[in-house]
Structure 1
Amino acid sequence: MNDEQNTKDEQLDELSFTVTGYISKTPHETFEAVADPEQLSKYFTTGGARGRLAAGAEVTWEFADFPGRFPVEVIESIQDEKIVIEGEATEHATAASTRTTFEFSPVDDGTRTLVTVTEQSWRTTVGGAEDAFGNCMGWTGMLAALKAWVEYGIDLREGFYK
């Protein structure tokens, strides 16, 4: 058995996932489309975003298709490079909050951006897997909506979930 196979057979302490996408905008433009509540409200938080994704800021997100206001705690924000947030978890998480990290990496001499979204803190149970897979779908949709919005001005989320 090779080392890669041994690694893939290891038991997990928690579930996590990573999704990625390329955006044909600079890291600065892409970062701002995520950090700026006005822009985020145009393609992702259809009920509105309040507060910039800056460390220590009071931030809430609302979704017209998933009613309720969701508090978001910004753990870290490095301009044009990284945003780390935490949100209240369900009983299927390994902690009281799940942690999501957005990374913005320059590609093609900085004319494009690779966005990497990683979420962690899910239990290795059926409920943990269901919640993790559901959020994985949500962050994948967010990346597609981000690309459509910043590159073409199209709101993909409108009517997608209801």
Structure 2
Amino acid sequence: MELKFRVAARIARPVHDVFEAVADPAKLSAYFTTGGAKGRLETGSVVTWDFHDFPGAFPVYVTEVVPDERIVLEWDAAEGEAPNVDGGELTPVDYRTTVTMLFKPLEDGRTLVEIAEEGWRPTPGGLKASYGNCQGWSQMLCALKMWIEHGINLREGMYK
């Protein structure tokens, strides 16, 4: 069994604005990386993201960026459940998963954002971790939509 998922949302802003809300660390920190993001998402860069629900900044390896179209990144996999879910615990493992973000302009001026992640080992811990990341990316899209369309930080106070 291959562990992977895809989530998507339509954001009522032009594709360039939506892309920049993800690629620019100051903007990403405003609504998603609750502990902050350091470094712009550019091909070949290694940036850091920090979250209040997963304290401690960790590296994000940016493998490809096509402005206003695609961001591909890798990060260290962990298996198990997030600490904020039923007291679970994530265990570091020796491989990475791949995240692909696609930004597609729609005829009505909105942007379709698709986020896919894959690469977990087919273990019970990998399955739990993939569900957790699917939840996280779904929250990210909701937070992005609220922040860029309405100026509301949906994640503020959610984990701290």
Structure 1 length normalisation: TM-score? Answer: 0.87
Q: Which runs of 4+ in 1 moved over 6 A?
A: 92-95
Q: Work out whether residues 94 and 121 of structure 1, in 8 Å CA contact, stay in contact via their aligned partners in 2.
A: no
2:19 corresponds to which of 31, 35, 44: 31
How many residues align? The count is: 149
* Gap change, CA 1:94 and 1:62, over 3 Å in 2: closer
Runs (5+) with no aligned partner, structure 1:
1-11
For residues 111-143 of structure 1, what are the alpha-carbon distances to aligned partners after superposition, in whole Å with 9 as ceiling and x for unaligned? Answer: 110000000011222211100000000000000
1:17 corresponds to which of 5, 8, 11: 5
* RMSD after superposition: 1.7
Runs (5+) with no aligned partner, structure 2:
81-91
Equivalent positions of 1:62-81 (< 5 A) are 62-81=50-69
Percent of aligned positions with the same letter in both sequences?
54
| Aligned residue identity for 1:103 | L
1:160 matched to which residue of 2?
A: 158
* Gap change, CA 1:47 and 1:71, over 3 Å in 2: same
1:8 matched to which residue of 2?
A: none
Rg (Cα) greater in structure = 1
Q: Does 1:40 align with 2:28?
A: yes
| Aligned residue identity for 1:53 | L
Compute the displacement of 1:95 (Å): 6.7
1:84 corresponds to which of 72, 76, 97: 72
In 2, distance between residues paired with 1:34 and 1:21? 14
| Aligned residue identity for 2:101 | F
Structure with greater strand percent? 2
Secondary structure, aligned partner of 1:96 = strand
In 2, distance between residues paired with 1:23 and 1:36? 17
